[in-house]
Structure 1
Amino acid sequence: MKSAVETLNPTRVRLTVEVPFEELKDSLDAAYKKINQQVTVPGFRKGKIPARVIDQRFGRGAVLEEAVNDALPKLYQSAVEEGELNPLGQPEVDITELKDNELLAFTAEVDIRPEIEIPDYSGIEVEVDAAEVADEDVDKAVEQLRERFASTSVVERAAAEGDVVKVDLEAKVDGEVLEDGVAQGVDYTIGSGELLDGIDDAVTGLEAGGTATFTSELKGGSAAGQEAEVTVTVETVSARELPELDDEFAQMASEFDTLEEMREDSRKRLAEQKKYDQATQAQEKVLDALLELIEVPVPEKLLQDEVETRKHNLVNHQLGQLGLDLASYLKMQDKTEEDFEAELKEQAEKGIRTQFVLDELVNKEKLNVSQEELTEHLMRRAQSSGMSPDQFAQAVVEGGQVPMLVGEVARGKALATVVESATVKDTNGEVVDLDDEDESENAESDETSTESADAEAETKDEAKDEAKKEDA
């Protein structure tokens, strides 16, 4: 077999392959055997039909087609190995010549990983937020805990901001009550913004049994995006009572005996979270700085596929779970579809460039993944998926996804290596010491899926409040 490689662009090549006919013997034999099992010829037992009879009855062309289909994958793979290529995706194969008993020739165009030159990255310097915990931060954390332990009691007065009202809702569009536009016994805290726009003004001042009507745009359900006339009826009004901030509250809400001890524990936890956030921010900024140093061409077909995958996951999984469609989401974000597509393409391109660069770093730094590291990563992934480690491991093995997990861990180690060599300072000008544990835990997410995961998390945060409005 002869093969040659033609570079079409930095991310695509064309293989030209010529195969002497004698090298197709095994595939021809397999073709006759397969046809033998599929056809019946009078006077011959099944599977015992001579090759010449098959040629006469069904045509030599059918045999050649079967043989070529059998041989092509192996021939292509041999040409890839001979050319020392790293193909991405499936090739586009074109048979250019097929002469019986003489020659098979074909071309195969395929995207390949671009050759990347990793520069000296030891000079990277980034700035991150200072991991300082102010008294106001502690006050806010304690107040949030206090809110969780608030009690409510029914009162005989008009509803005011901060009260919890139990309401019935009915939404009409064009005078018709929507099938999914009725909700009863909904608890709502006035001023929280967790239901329909306009409901705060409508219920404020109403006593139990009071009714009001207002107009609001529906964010979910069958009439998402349409203006609806909503009738709200207040069943009860309850006042929220916050516990006193004293040692008794500390004993009720925590493991500590005094309020001061509880506050100090909150300060410690906040400091740990800020350090964790600081490490994450450092990794993101170091990665961005590294990508700026390297020219990374991206295969167009791979980029298109990645954009489609991200869009499918967003629309059919993240938004679908929240009861939103793409049009509602775009309206909520005040974005056009063109803006959305452009952002999605930018995220996908960065994800691909990130994977290419980190994979090259893995090779350059000769990074290996131990069984222990793989197991730890698998445990974390299982936890985030809601599956048991055994279930997740079984699904990974059955789906042939072990190499993918190994790649995730390796890329995480590659990024950690760059972060360790970079200079990270906080906004006060102090050099930040990032411990290995924070780096390894965060770094694993910095691969192709990182960008989509970030976008999905952002989508969930922004859409969470909107989803709560569906019942109306």
Structure 2
Amino acid sequence: MKSAVENLSPTRAKLTVEVPFEELKPSLDAAYQKIARQINVPGFRRGKVPPQIIDKQVGREAVIGEAVNEQLQSALVEAIREEGLTPLSQPEVDDLDFGDDKPLTFSAEFDTLPEFDLPDTSALTATVDDIEVTDADVEEQVQGLRERFATLIDVERPAADGDFVVMDMKAVKDGETVEGADITGFSYQVGRGGMIDGLDEALTGMTAGEDKTFTSQLAGGDLVGQDVDIEITVSQVQEQELPELDDEFAETASEFETLDELTADLRERITRNKRLEQAAAARDAVLESMLDQVEIPVPEGIVTDELNARRQSMEQQLAMAGMTMEKYLEDEGQTQEEFEAELDRRVRDSVVAQFVLDRIAEEGEFEIEQQELTEHMVRRAQQAGQDPQEYVNHMLEHNHLPEVVGEIRRGKALASIVENATVTDQSGNTVELATLQPDGTYADPAEQQAEGEDLTEVSLPVDEGAAEVADEAEESDESKA
């Protein structure tokens, strides 16, 4: 077999292939056997019809055509491998020519992985915000605990901000109750927001047994964006009574015996969470720094497909939330042009990041253990709100395991890059990532080395390190041949 490559652009290639007729013989024999099992010829058992008879019955050209159909894909795959190409789209076969005693010739065009040099990741630097845990942070957590253990007491006074009201509510349009827009006996905290514009203002000052009607707009349904009348009836006004902040409360709300122990534990938990946030910020900053060092052309077909997929996904999410794109852009303070430009930039960055991380993972020969694969899919299922076993079965049935493995390997590649980068906070302190655990604590390096653990995997958990890149590149993976 002979093949030749013509680079139509840095991201698209045309492959010309010629397969000598003698190399088609195995496929030709297989075609005769297949056809022999499909036809009935008097005097011959099914599957035992000689080639000469098959040529008379169905024609030599039909047999050769069957052989070509079988040979075409394998010849294309072999030629791609021999030429060292990495297809990023389904090859488009053209100029197909074959005949009796003639070579099989064809061409195929497809998007390819462009050639590029890896950036020097050892010199990457990034700066992230300092970790600062304030008394206000701790007080907020303590207040949240107190509210969890608070009691509600009926009061005979107008509702004020922070009170709870039990109410009935319905939306009315042209004198008719809007279907699905009514609730009964609903407990709501005044000032919480997030329901209907104007609700908090309407409830403030209302007393038990009072009715009120105001005009607003529904967030979802067929009448989204239209003015409707909101009728509310308050049946109870309740005041939240918080428990005293003392040692007794600490024993009730936690496993600690004193309030000092409880607040110290809350401060430590906040610190751990902020370490993880700082690590995520470091990951993003290092990745952005790396992308600034490379200029890799991206196949426009992949960009277009990914843009369309993201637009469709976003439209579905907005529809489920009962929001239009216009309303979303208004809330975000973006124009349609600004949104499209930002989306295009994110898509191109995610594809370039995928190219680079895949190359680093390949050169680093990162191994994936079965346990890592299983844990990754279980976490993905939990994030998607799906049953883990059903999620795993779906991935297996639809042959998505290569995509999952790619996500994990990219995560490991990104973790290794962050490990080698110099990350400091705003105060100039080096950010410790090498021993950071998934729970925000630090491991003992000596103990880990004694146990033979890989600090790279400890520093940034696979899912945390790869989540953004994997999510953005997932559909790009599916477009690969």
- Class of the TM-score when normalised by the shorter of the 2 chains: 0.7 to 0.9
How far the C-alpha of 1:91 sits from its partner, in A, is 0.5
RMSD across aligned positions (CA): 2.8
Residue 106 of structure 2: aligned partner: 106
Quick one: percent identity of the two aligned structures?
A: 46
Report the secondary structure of 1:87's partner residue.
coil
Bigger shift: 200-209 or 396-405?
396-405
> Cα 1:124–1:184, aligned 2, differ >3 Å: closer, same or farther?
same
Q: Does 1:308 align with 2:308?
A: yes
Code of the aligned partner of 1:363: E
Report the Cα distance in structure 1 between the residues aligned to 2:262 and 2:7, rounded to whole angstroms.
66
Q: Is the 8 A contact 2:168 2:234 kept in 1?
A: yes
How far the C-alpha of 1:273 sits from its partner, in A, is 0.8
Residue 216 of structure 1: aligned partner: 216
Residue 123 of structure 1: aligned partner: 123
Residue 425 of structure 1: aligned partner: 424
Report the secondary structure of 1:157's partner residue.
coil
Residue 346 of structure 1: aligned partner: 345
Report the Cα distance in structure 2 between the residues aligned to 1:45 and 1:332, rounded to whole angstroms.
75
Q: Is the 8 A contact 2:64 2:99 kept in 1?
A: no
TM alignment of 1:8-19, pairs within 5 A: 8-19=8-19
Q: Does 1:74 align with 2:96?
A: no
| Larger RCO (CA under 8 A, 6+ residues apart) | 1
Report the secondary structure of 1:444's partner residue.
helix
Q: Does 1:362 align with 2:382?
A: no
Taking structure 2 as the reference length, what is the TM-score of the superposition? 0.85
Give a deviation string over 1:272-317, Cα, whole Å, max 9, x none: 111111111111100100011011221122222222333344444x
Q: Is the 8 A contact 2:354 2:473 kept in 1?
A: no
Report the Cα distance in structure 1 between the residues aligned to 2:246 and 2:11, rounded to whole angstroms.
66
Residue 33 of structure 1: aligned partner: 33
Report the Cα distance in structure 1 between the residues aligned to 2:421 and 2:99, rounded to whole angstroms.
60
TM alignment of 1:400-411, pairs within 5 A: 400-411=399-410
Aligned mate of 2:470, from 443, 448, 469: 448
How far the C-alpha of 1:145 sits from its partner, in A, is 1.7
How far the C-alpha of 1:130 sits from its partner, in A, is 0.8
Give a deviation string over 1:94-132, Cα, whole Å, max 9, x none: 134223321221001112222221132222221111112
Q: Is the 8 A contact 1:188 1:194 kept in 2?
A: no
Report the Cα distance in structure 2 between the residues aligned to 1:120 and 1:321, rounded to whole angstroms.
44
Report the Cα distance in structure 1 between the residues aligned to 2:82 and 2:300, rounded to whole angstroms.
25
> Cα 1:344–1:41, aligned 2, differ >3 Å: closer, same or farther?
farther
Report the Cα distance in structure 1 between the residues aligned to 2:48 and 2:175, rounded to whole angstroms.
77
Residue 95 of structure 2: aligned partner: 95
Q: Is the 8 A contact 1:198 1:216 kept in 2?
A: yes
Report the Cα distance in structure 1 between the residues aligned to 2:273 and 2:124, rounded to whole angstroms.
25
Taking structure 1 as the reference length, what is the TM-score of the superposition? 0.86
Bigger shift: 381-390 or 337-346?
381-390
Q: Is the 8 A contact 1:412 1:446 kept in 2?
A: no
Q: Is the 8 A contact 1:133 1:271 kept in 2?
A: yes
Report the Cα distance in structure 2 between the residues aligned to 1:202 and 1:383, rounded to whole angstroms.
39
- Give unpaired runs (5+ residues) of structure 1: 454-472
> Cα 1:185–1:17, aligned 2, differ >3 Å: closer, same or farther?
same
How far the C-alpha of 1:73 sits from its partner, in A, is 0.6
Report the secondary structure of 1:137's partner residue.
helix
Code of the aligned partner of 2:184: Q
